[in-house]
Amino acid sequence: MEKIKVGVVGATGYAGAEICRLLYAHPMAELAAISSVSFEGMALSDVYPAYREVCDLVCETQADVVEKSDVIFAALPHGLSQELAAECDAKNKAFIDLGADFRLESEEEYKTWYGGTFTDKSLHQKAVYGLPELFREQIKTTKIVANPGCYTTAVPLALVPALEMGYIEQVGIIADCKSGVTGAGRKPAQNSHFPELNEGLSAYKVASHRHTPEIEQTLSRITGKKACITFVPHLLPVNRGILATCYARLKDGVTEEMLRAAYEARYNHEPFVRFLPKGKSADIHNIKYTNFCDVSIFVDSRTGTFIAISAIDNMVKGAAGQAIQNMNILFGLSEATGLMQVPPAF
């Protein structure tokens, strides 16, 4: 079988560069073209010296990338993908968007949280939300994938089995999350400036982050009832990793054994979700540079609270790895192809 030709638009950003890194371990795909506006004409290894003699591909234009590729990954700031998706759709090329332009089903919600509109509604109807553990059958039927954000992967994966079984109340869920700084992208900012970030830990966009409606949309799809959650992200002074600690009220009569059985059954065959043994808690150390999502659960029987803690690498399962997992589904490959990296032991 011929290798899939992959193009990355926005390859010089953190998410785009991470797709390029992961593709070099993919036996069935090859990086055909990359693009950048600021670095056009320069090699990716000039932007990221770590890639020297690995990826010396030169940044071209967006149009070159579309022309040379079977599948185009867009790793662009929000709002720039709709036009590119239209171009790919017209040329019958697969399109995987790492931004948020196609994630929300409701245009109203999109307007509220992103300030934009759906420029071509038919494209939005074709797009499928790319969280494989929940929607892999739908992903197989599309050519436009809306790759989820990082928090919006970690939180649902922590809660899915308990919600599907109806073991927890959907009302009153709290997601307390911490993210490494690569989540904010490559562009420097005051809050990610080393002296102001290092040795600190603080919340941001408290109960007002744009991932809130995206998480609610996924949880609503699981239960068939409108979800409403409290989501508080924190900026953790590390490069990579998301830890999502989620709290929910246990329904009467539900025991830890019932919950553990539900999680084991649900995630047993998932290549990337590792359900941890009783008493073990997910740690961002153990998933670094991989597409794994570690999930651990606890019951506080004194207060009737269910606690689910998940850990992902925001750049891999939270972005580039999940995007490649979606590409594998679109092209009929085994989902784990090229994605079985081993995390460093320490």
Ligand X SMILES: NC(=O)C1=CN([C@@H]2O[C@H](COP(=O)(O)OP(=O)(O)OC[C@H]3O[C@@H](n4cnc5c(N)ncnc54)[C@H](OP(=O)(O)O)[C@@H]3O)[C@@H](O)[C@H]2O)C=CC1
Ligand Y SMILES: CC(=O)N[C@@H](CCC(=O)OP(=O)(O)O)C(=O)O
Q: Strand ranges (DSSP E) for the chain?
A: 4-9, 29-35, 59-60, 71-74, 94-97, 128-129, 144-146, 174-179, 202-203, 230-235, 242-249, 273-275, 293-300, 305-312
Among residues 99, 161, 233, 241, the one that binds ligand X under rule CB under 6 A: 99
As a whole number of angstroms, the distance between CA 240 and CA 258 comes to 33
Known catalytic residue at 150: yes
Question: Does 7 sit near ligand X (CB under 6 A)?
Answer: no
Question: Does 42 sit near ligand X (CB under 6 A)?
Answer: no
Q: How far is the CB of 96 from ligand X (least distance, A)?
A: 11
Give 74's strand partners: 9, 97
Pick the catalytic residue from 20, 150, 246, 293: 150
Question: Does 321 sit near ligand X (CB under 6 A)?
Answer: no
Other CB atoms closer than 10 Å to residue 137's CB: what's the count? Answer: 10
Q: How far is the CB of 149 from ligand Y (least distance, A)?
A: 3
Helix (H) / strand (E) containing 290: none
Among residues 7, 132, 149, 156, the one that binds ligand X under rule CB under 6 A: 149
Question: Does 185 sit near ligand X (CB under 6 A)?
Answer: yes
Which chain residues interact with ligand Y by CB under 6 A?
99-100, 149-150, 179, 183-184, 211, 233, 235, 318
Nearer to ligand Y, 208 or 223 (CB): 208
From the list ligand Y, ligand X, none, partner contacted by residue 32 (C-beta under 5 to 8 A by kind): none
Nearer to ligand X, 47 or 228 (CB): 47
As a whole number of angstroms, the distance between CA 31 and CA 341 comes to 18
Q: What are phi and psi of 194, to 5 degrees?
A: -50, -50
Other CB atoms closer than 10 Å to residue 56's CB: what's the count? Answer: 11
Q: How far is the CB of 259 from ligand X (least distance, A)?
A: 29
As a whole number of angstroms, the distance between CA 185 and CA 208 comes to 20
Q: How far is the CB of 51 from ligand X (least distance, A)?
A: 14
From the list ligand Y, ligand X, none, partner contacted by residue 315 (C-beta under 5 to 8 A by kind): ligand X
Q: How far is the CB of 37 from ligand X (least distance, A)?
A: 4
Question: Does 104 sit near ligand X (CB under 6 A)?
Answer: no
Of 319, 308, 312, 322, which Cα lies nearest the Cα of 164?
Answer: 308
Q: C-alpha distances in angstroms, 169 versus 173, 181, 255, 299?
A: 8, 32, 14, 14
Nearer to ligand X, 57 or 80 (CB): 80
Residue nearest to ligand X (CB): 13
As a whole number of angstroms, the distance between CA 134 and CA 138 comes to 9
As a whole number of angstroms, the distance between CA 50 and CA 8 comes to 18
Of 79, 133, 96, 99, which Cα lies nearest the Cα of 13?
Answer: 99
Is the separation of the CB atoms in 334 and 328 below 8 Å? yes
From the list ligand Y, ligand X, none, partner contacted by residue 141 (C-beta under 5 to 8 A by kind): none
Nearer to ligand Y, 184 or 307 (CB): 184
Of 31-39, 88-96, 202-210, 222-230, the segment contacting ligand X by CB under 6 A is 31-39
**Given the structure tokens 């998940």, which residue do they identify?**
310
Please give the structure tokens belonging to residue 32: 């055909």
Site for ligand X in 255-314 (CB under 6 A): 314
Among residues 7, 10, 233, 321, the one that binds ligand X under rule CB under 6 A: 10
Nearer to ligand Y, 60 or 214 (CB): 214
Q: How far is the CB of 143 from ligand Y (least distance, A)?
A: 20
Name the residues annotated as catalytic.
150
What residues make contact with ligand X under the rule CB under 6 A?
A: 10, 12-16, 36-39, 75-78, 80, 98-99, 149-150, 182-183, 185-187, 314-315, 318-319
